[in-house]
Structures are given as C-alpha cells and as structure tokens.
Amino acid sequence: MDPSSAFNTRREIFGVPCKYSKPSPSGQIPFSADSFDLIMSLGVLHHIPNVSYVISECYRCLSESGVMLVREPIVSMGDWRYPRPGLTKRERGIPIKVFDSIISNIGFNVQHKSLCVFPLIPKLANKFGIHAYNNRILTLIDAFLSKLFSWNTKYHRTSYVEKIGPASVFYVLSKNRQYIQ
C-alpha cells in the first residue's frame, strides 16, 4: 500500500506477483483479517494523523504467525513554527512512550526493539557522499552509539546535549508471544 501512484503499474517484484493498493484516508486497510505474513512500515506512520487506528488495522491484517517491522522517528523533528528543511509542514515523530503504549494496547508482542538513527552518523556520511545505512560499518556504529545514548529519548530536543541521542526506534512485532520462524 502506498498513497502515491508511483507503484500502481507494477504487477510483480523480482518475479513475484504483487497487487498495488492505495490506503483509505480513514486508515482502514482493505484486506481481510490474517491476510499478511509480513507488514513493513518504515518511516510512514509519523506522516498520518490516526496512528493508533492504522496500527490496529495492521494487527488485524497480520496472520497469527506473521511479523510487522516498524521504524519511526521518536523525536519532534524540529520547531513547527518555522520551516524545517526536508520535512513536510505537519511531520512529527512519535514519542517512544506513546508508541510503546499504542503497541501494547493493541495487543502486539514486541519481539525486538532497538533505538537507531544516531543523528551524527547520517550527517557525517552525507558529507562524504556515503549512504549511511547502506554501509555495514556505519550501521554498526549507529547501533552502538544509539545503545550507548539510549537514556536520551527526550521528544522535543532543544539543547545540543538533548540532540545527541537516537532519533528513531525499530520494532519487530508479532501477535503471538513467541515469534514463529
């Protein structure tokens, strides 16, 4: 599912048949319960107003042995009163305590949770023309620094010290207590 029309002509991905669907503005997913073994949402939820409902729809559509992968920013992403380069007008992260609560209240089991996207890594990589998270060493450094500064998950960061901390969270979620491999 994607709101853009960029993928609506694709009929297969690497030889595997696929069907493109646009999401409903309400957040309702037009598939029956237990339809998917894998749901991925990478940097999408912070763009939508009804995060809880969309996550509950993902839960409904996920099979009993399925897995949902989620990566989202957990910081405010700047002061909304001023233009923020590279961001949409209403773009905001999801505070980690709020995110954890949503996931728990819906009934997901957290199989894995890690903080990621340490702000200095992509900034330095961009200066050298490197895609930070396509580089194994930089990804490992990011994981190390994010874990080291995991105490720093303040949502609205105004001081330089507050800004030195992981900016996103990554979850592996399932319906069942035990992840089925």
- Whether 13 is in a domain gets the answer no
45-72 pLDDT tens trace:
888 888 999 999 999 999 999 999 999 9
Identify the residue whose tokens are 């853009």: 4
pLDDT for residue 40 is more than 80: yes
CB 162 within 8 A of CB 151: no
Is residue 66 classed exposed, middle or buried when 0-12, 13-18 and 19+ CB atoms within 10 A define those classes?
A: buried
- Whether 15 is in a domain gets the answer no
10-24 pLDDT tens trace:
888 899 888 888 888
87-146 pLDDT tens trace:
666 678 899 999 999 999 999 999 999 999 999 999 999 999 999 999 999 999 999 999
Model pLDDT, residue 24: 85
- Whether 71 is in a domain gets the answer yes
Model pLDDT, residue 5: 77
Model pLDDT, residue 76: 86
Sign of CA dihedral 173, 116, 49, 100: positive
CB 50 within 8 A of CB 24: no
Report residue 99: phi and psi, to 5°: -60, -50
pLDDT for residue 43 is more than 60: yes
Say what the pTM is.
Answer: 0.86
CATH number at residue 38: 3.40.50.150
Name the residue range of residue 115's domain.
22-174
Average pLDDT over residues 26-45: 91
- Count of helix runs (H) and strand runs (E) in the chain: 5, 6
Average pLDDT over residues 154-169: 91
- Rounded distance between C-alpha atoms, residue 147 and residue 99, angstroms: 18
pLDDT for residue 86 is more than 80: no
- Whether 17 is in a domain gets the answer no
- Whether 4 is in a domain gets the answer no
How many structural domains compose the chain? 1
- Whether 138 is in a domain gets the answer yes
- Whether 117 is in a domain gets the answer yes
pLDDT for residue 6 is more than 90: no
Model pLDDT, residue 177: 63
For the chain, strand residue ranges (E) read 12-13, 16-17, 36-42, 62-73, 109-116, 168-174
- Whether 180 is in a domain gets the answer no
